[in-house]
Amino acid sequence: MADISISNKDWPRVKIKLQRKYNNLTDEQLQYTEGQEETLISKLEGLVNRNRAYVVFTLKKALVNIDNNRL
């Protein structure tokens, strides 16, 4: 089970934050469907070369203040 839940409504803002932090990530790499958090986490682990805990932390941080552009 995923440690986080990202809605389709919040995903575009989270994606922008990830792309600002990791400017090598493309829209195609960041395809996401609500309920597929585990797949997203696994994919991001490989793309940013970080462990699961860091990826989950980064996603949670992006969701804390969704209207802020900072990550």
Distance CA 8, CA 5 (A): 10
DSSP letters, the chain, are --S----TTTHHHHHHHHHHHSTT--TTTT---TT-HHHHHHHHHHHHT--HHHHHHHHHHHHHTTTS---
| Model confidence pLDDT, tens digit, residues 11-66 | 999 999 999 999 999 999 999 999 999 999 999 999 999 999 999 999 999 999 88
More confident residue, 71 or 55: 55
- For residue 60, the model assigns a pLDDT of 94
- For residue 1, the model assigns a pLDDT of 58
* Residue among 47, 48, 61, 50 nearest 3 (CA): 61
> Does the pLDDT at position 67 exceed 90?
no
